[in-house]
Chains A and B, each alone.
Chain A
């Protein structure tokens, strides 16, 4: 009983910290944000926080998370850190990337 559910329980305990890196109000950024919002509301309601970082305004933050692609979603917590690039339109892949659903 405990064994299979333990990761889910741990995730459930902690707050999900997500960072979305964008560069200006581009269509891709806006799409990404709305996609992310949707996924979080569906799967992590009430236990997530999204920081949107606009690199045009704060370029010095680009080094910290090794951001190349825009938009990039970084899952800071829970660890390990994961990166998802793209406008998050492929929901299945986002769920796999965030480890909310087992691959396959």
Chain B
């Protein structure tokens, strides 16, 4: 049942390679990065020559080809060693976590040690290498091998005296390997004037890979180059590669695929105001962030804030420090109110500190890869990435960082790199090369003026999100980081006490304006009250006039009545003389008034 499952898994790999059949069929090596630069691996069913000087990793490369083939692709492999015994081989790769003994017992890998001792061999005439063929054939057939490694055939040149016979036999061997249909890797020592010491490249013409180990500025770096790959496109560049705990890892500087998944999730920067600058929600998960700044602008602090925020959310944070020891960082951060030690104790924050010069760039990266693979962090911080430049050249560092970012992005790990600049533009320029790799770039800068030095922060870029274009002043207090708006006036950016003075001035102006408006309001109130009073007076006057008018009207009415009454009386008197003679009004009194005389 289990066996059946395995076989279908292997079958799936086989069919997976089939759509490429129109082109050259490839045999994936399973070596990290190599399959990418060769577009799928080594030419299937053909021999590949792997050459390089001593200690380049030829044997390891070949062994990984076999082991990964057996483990990942279900292709059994024969490793024929002419130099190391099977026990030595097992011990060597055990340090990479590969258990050859188990693979051997499962009949997925066959180790074959061919011992040649020149002193034991006496040549007495014509011979051929049929014995080797028989042996190899037996080994291949016994486990149904699809992959073969011969490491290294050149031992034959040392062991067998007749080079003419040897060369003819090798030619036959490679032809035979092709007809056998196995994908073979043949290792060879690098020669002085030609690729290999004994010119094996003459026989293996399908694919030639060169491994190289050289020292530049006291720093050793391994390189891999595909010299020849008949019938296939391949990266022709030299690619640095690492030998780490996980085996070989080729680091393509120009990453061929940009296909990592992205997340829409956002993670806080740990500084609320900075989140606000990044459309209120912080960075994207799995993005890469570059934080550049001159010395003492608070790069490590910003990084530590981010680390603390992430760890408090329950994420695992891996902090690579190249300048300070973990204890030093914890102590220093305590002074601004960041308590990192509890997070370290809870296992949410892990420091890895190493001097950049302690080993070469490739080793640094190998260590980082291993740490990342072991700890599986959600957030990785590197402080500062520029230190690594001391361990390699600019372009190498950039290549490594690219690879690292790719690796982190694949795992959706948010990465923050701090980068030290030394003021001036030349070095900032060199940063730009690296910044193009980054999704977000924050710049910390300090401004000198009025006898003080103040820090400001810009968001130079933040891919995929609206972000503030403002310069913010960056304050570090015993309660952490705060960002305040910096003033940008005609004379430039105002920070620190100048900003405070500006604030005070503005406050005074505001107060004055408030007072002025209060005064004017008061004045208006007063005038209104005066008018109000005036209106009252006028109204009274109006009322009085109306009353007067009414009185006059009444008076006038009375007079009219009296007159009419008098007229009536007169009439009455004229018409009725016999009436009371005393009531004769025509007889005016002494006062001229009408009235009865007593």
Chain A interface residues toward B at CB < 8 A: 21, 23, 28, 31-32, 35, 55-56, 59-60, 62-63, 66-72, 81-90, 93-94, 96-97
Contact = CB atoms under 8 A, between A and B. Distances in A.
Contacts of A85: 121-124, 127, 160
A70 B112 contact: no
Interface of B: 112, 114-116, 120-135, 137-138, 156, 159-160
A90 B120 CA distance: 17
A83 B127 contact: no
A70 B131 contact: yes
29 contacts: A32-B125, A59-B137, A59-B138, A62-B134, A62-B138, A66-B114, A67-B134, A68-B114, A68-B116, A68-B129, A68-B160, A69-B129, A69-B131, A70-B128, A72-B127, A82-B122, A83-B120, A84-B124, A85-B121, A85-B122, A85-B124, A86-B123, A86-B125, A87-B124, A88-B125, A89-B124, A93-B124, A96-B122, A97-B124
Contacts of A62: 131, 134-135, 138
A-B interface, 10 closest residue pairs, ranked by CB to CB distance from nearest: A97-B122, A86-B125, A70-B130, A67-B131, A89-B125, A86-B124, A87-B125, A23-B130, A59-B138, A62-B135
Nearest to B135: A62
Q: Which of B127, B128, B135, B138 has the most CB of A within 10 A?
A: B127
A60 to B, nearest CB: 6
Contacts of A35: 125
Interface residue SS majority, chain B? mixed
A28 B134 CA distance: 16
A67 B124 contact: no
Given A62-B138, A63-B112, A83 B131 contact: no
Nearest to B137: A59
Contact of A28 (B115, B116, B126, B137): B126
Contacts of B125: 31-32, 35, 86-90
B124 A28 contact: no
Contacts of A84: 121-124
Contacts of A81: 120
Given A85-B127, A89-B125, 4 more contacts: A68-B129, A81-B120, A94-B122, A94-B124
Given A55-B134, A59-B138, A62-B134, A86 B127 contact: yes
Contacts of A28: 126-128
A12 B20 CA distance: 68
Interface residue SS majority, chain A? mixed
B121 A83 contact: yes
Contacts of B114: 66, 68
A83 B127 CA distance: 13
Nearest to A55: B134
A3 B98 CA distance: 55
Nearest to B160: A69
Given A66-B115, A69-B128, A23 B134 contact: yes
B123 A93 contact: yes
Q: Which of A31, A56, A63, A89 has the most CB of B within 10 A?
A: A63
Contacts of A56: 134
A101 B133 CA distance: 33
Contacts of A32: 125
A6 B341 CA distance: 81
Q: Which of B112, B120, B124 has the most CB of A within 10 A?
A: B124
B320 to A, nearest CB: 49
Contacts of B130: 23, 55, 69-70
Contacts of A83: 120-122
Contacts of A69: 127-132, 160
A85 B130 CA distance: 12
Contact of A93 (B122, B127, B133): B122
A3 B138 CA distance: 48
